C-alpha cells in the first residue's frame, strides 16, 4: 500500500483531501469574484470612497 | 496543490464551517462598523425617503415668513 492510499486520522486519503481542497478553493474564487463585482457596484452607485 | 493535504489532519466538518464562519463574521463586522460610523450609508439605504422627510420642514418656514404680522391699527 503506497503512502498515497493511506487513510489519515480524519478518515480521508491524500487524494480525497486534495479533492475537497480543490472545491474549497473554487468556492472561494467564485465568492471573491461576486464580492469584487458587488464592491464595484457599491463604488459606482454609492458615495463610498468619493 | 498547496495545503491540499490539510484535510488529512483537520476534519472537513470542523474546518470548513470555521473558515466560512470567520469570513462571515469579519464581513458582517466591517459592514456594521461602516453603517454605525458613517452618515451616508443610512442616507443611501433610505434612498429618496431621506429627502422627503426633510422637505416639509423646509417648506413651512418660507410660508411662515410670508405672513404679515399684526400691526396696530390707527
pLDDT digit string, tens, across residues B9-43: 999 999 999 999 999 999 999 999 999 999 999 88
| Contact yes or no for B8 and A20 at CB 8 A | no
Is the pLDDT higher at B71 or at B9? B9
- Tell me whether A25 touches chain B (CB under 8 Å): yes
**How many Å apart are CA B73 and CA B3, to the nearest integer?**
94
Share of chain B above pLDDT 90, in %: 50
Instruction: Tell me whether residues A10 and B6 touch, CB distance under 8 A.
Output: no
Q: Does the beta-carbon distance from B8 to A10 stay under 8 Å? A: yes
Reply yes or no on whether the pLDDT at B50 is more than 90. Answer: no
Nearest CA in chain A to B20: A28
Distance of residue A14 Cα from the nearest chain B Cα, in angstroms: 6
ipTM: 0.84
Q: How far is CA B46 from CA A39, B24, B41, B67, in A?
A: 19, 24, 8, 34
Instruction: Find the closest chain A residue to B46 by CA distance.
Output: A46
CA distance B30 to B22: 12
A1-50, pLDDT tens digit by residue? 568 889 999 999 999 999 999 999 999 999 999 999 999 999 999 989 98
Q: How is residue B25 written as a grid cell?
A: 463574521
* CB-CB under 8 Å, B40 with A21: no
Identify from A7, A12, A13, A44 which residue to disrupt to test chain B contact, counting B C-beta atoms within 10 A and taking the largest count: A12
Burial class (CB in 10 A: 0-12, 13-18, 19+), B7: buried
Q: Which helix (H) or strand (E) holds B7?
A: none
Q: Strand locations in chain A, DSSP E?
A: none
Amino acid at each position: 500500500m503506497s503512502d498515497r492510499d493511506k487513510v489519515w486520522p480524519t478518515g480521508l486519503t491524500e487524494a480525497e483531501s486534495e479533492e475537497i481542497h480543490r472545491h474549497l478553493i473554487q468556492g472561494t474564487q467564485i465568492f471573491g469574484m461576486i464580492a469584487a463585482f458587488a464592491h464595484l457596484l457599491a463604488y459606482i452607485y454609492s458615495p463610498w470612497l468619493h | 496543490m498547496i495545503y491540499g493535504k490539510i484535510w488529512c489532519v483537520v476534519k472537513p466538518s470542523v474546518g470548513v464551517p470555521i473558515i466560512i464562519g470567520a469570513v462571515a463574521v469579519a464581513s458582517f463586522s466591517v459592514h456594521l462598523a461602516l453603517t454605525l460610523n458613517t452618515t451616508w450609508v443610512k442616507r443611501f439605504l433610505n434612498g429618496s425617503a431621506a429627502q422627503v422627510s426633510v422637505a416639509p420642514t423646509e417648506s413651512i418656514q418660507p410660508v411662515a415668513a410670508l405672513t404679515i404680522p399684526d400691526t396696530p391699527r390707527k
